[in-house]
Structure 1
């Protein structure tokens, strides 16, 4: 700062007291200094006008006005967003997704001209807004993927005055995978009788997201659900069981057929939802559980005597008489009729 000299006409050697603004002070050596409090800032006050009073020990005074111009200095940019305080961002993103905005500004009032923002390891940065976008797909389920991604953002002005801020992005999982099931078609074949509460299918599905979402099983099509032939087991919605006894010969069963097909929708969440479908096919097979029944309780035949009859392939010498039987299996298994062959021969009399 400039040196301030004061001289009293009446007493050349007398000292003088100088009054000054709070931004400046004067030493006894008559040198003008800045106080540093507040800081001289071109963007706040660019020009100071100081009126200096000098008074000698006899009370005589004089004044002088001094103009002090504050020169503008190109200071480094400063980050103005939340990440300027070291906050953290988190997302799970495909390629070219917006990761975070890191706005920066220069304190110079004169435009610094085109600048640049840089990031390391993560991806390109839009110069206008400081938006960081991903250069590769961030997949939390990929083997060896680092959940915490650390990088830095560097902002520079035209004169290459730069500032940098560290950023840590924590990549959290998203619901971006459909459930996976061990079987998508389950077949069950059971011989009658299939008793009530028999388990005909057990669905085994899991979510591939990390952390995994809860899997839900909901009947979609077919005779499954409340009041149907099949239902989901209580507290185990992936288990399908029979609600009543199934008999192959039951008229109600015969009316609807002996093969049942149903579908179960398997989804991982509600918002958003990824759904797969599992088909369950149940086939009721017959069992030979009835004995044949004769139509009559007793049969009698009148057979004439024969003499010299011999067995031949044409049944010569045989009388054929029939008896009738019925098999109550609905698929017609067993005998429906038999032939009774009666052989007679003459006896020798001595």
Structure 2
């Protein structure tokens, strides 16, 4: 292993001090690149060295500055030097190099004393002292003490004059300097820089700058008013102090003389004269007297002259009186009817100018207004004998309808007030129009309705604003309401229910249904029809779809339930009717109204039955009627009783006609034939007797219509209770009977009572009689066969669509 030399050095901070620590033990630790280590202890011993003394006060950091008052006694302490010897407790000695100071006589405590009495005005204001501190071995340390003398106020201020006079003019602006008073102080080397100036008494018009001694105007001085109008001279004393708390003070008397200037303009009261004179006033009559004065104290500044400056066309009518130039008199003709000789609005304006004789020639102006009062001679007249205005019925409240204008030939023209004194009333509004009383503009206060009132005839009056003799004129105003499309199409009733078979041919008018609509403000040619909802697979369309108030529901595409193309059997169509048929009018129509109709369509899919019968089953129909009403509705019992009486009368009449019809039939021609063809003779089965009961709720409000799928007759129903009745009550009774028998034959019920089938209806009726009436044909004519689609199987009729809360299609027959 190679040798390794290590060197230990002394750092600069902190420095080695024997008195603080005399030896150090250093542990040296060595590590090579293989990880081998070794350590050794190095002991360092310090040797003591004799050091010079050290300052313990601010002299250790540099020069020390001491402030010393003048006029202090000899041997007054200026500064005390503090030092120490770091080696041992030796006795230190102190010395200074300046004759102005001394060291304490024992020379050991370091106290610096004044060697004389200092005067700030005569001696140097600052001097330096070199202080030396030695130990017993002769080692020393030096420092500098800088002594600054402080001036002491020991002299009195002095004014050069005992009295000072200033001559100023009035109306000096505030903060203006009048003059300056100056005192001197020996303590300030003959200057007044440190003196404070004050006034002996408070004065709101004058003040003094406490530093500069400048006399300043603190408020505007008006020589023409008190206190200066009677006493134009102000006198007071000013003091100069060398200390804010008192000290030494000197006084001087200040006198201020105020001179008058021409600072007031002539003042006239009142400044405006407004005079009304009749047109018949005589020449030479005094109109007005001008009264003026000048407030200046000096007579030379209070003299003025008066002159008249007439306005347009007034120079030949008015002038100052030659004897008294402060009076205005009439010198011309003021005939009001001579319009060309009058000023605007019949008012004459003149200016009377009052001017100071002394500069700067202030002026005051008096304005005189002379109004010639006219005579109201003419009635107002409208610019037209009558007015005609047109306005759309869509106009909003506040819309301007038009404007009427009346004129007055009097000069000057009198203001007119317009008012509506007749016409303008309509349904629900006592007054549809309002007129601006000053401009004559007519506005709407409610929205008009063409369908209610198409034309209004108004009477407008214009009245002059003349409290003595108001004259009036009237005119007629015709306001025509222009029709607009604000009424929607209406179709009644708004609900329909239809039933069709799935094999209906394309193009067929479904059960003869047609929709009839009206529009109060549109022609039938403007109506347009569209199915907006529920037309699944587009099976239905309306024809015509535009240009007519009547449209039919047509099957557009056939149904296909066999292959699964169609799955829905209940169609709820929403038909939208709009009055915006663009084929019949302008393409720029902006207002469109819409109506809606709901049509429910049920598609019947006949289902073959596996049961074969050889005889027509006997069915007994039991029709029960149940009336529901609210107990608190007093009129319901009366209506129910009335309906029951009418129903009993109708049933009795129908029974009489049916019995008469059956008796008139030849017994040899009555044959019972089955509704379906038999495939082969079978064993005769036991005859069944069925009872059908149908329960309905009667209600007197029928708001829907539907078509019976068998007879094609139209019946009405209530969407609330489900009650039904034939729409055309003038059909023969046998038509109603056939429709009832055929319709009720489609609704067998599964409920049985004593072996009979029950369904709800409004009365009991034997089925055989109904079937005999149905199967009766002249000359034993064979009834029509069932559709070939069913073959020889029994045809089971589909269920009839039920409106809301309905259980029978022939409830009120």
The TM-score, its normalising length taken from structure 2, stands at 0.22
Report the structure number with the largest CA radius of gyration.
2
* Bigger helix share: 2
The TM-score, its normalising length taken from structure 1, stands at 0.45
Ranked by relative contact order (alpha carbons within 8 Å, sequence separation 6 or more), the top structure is 1
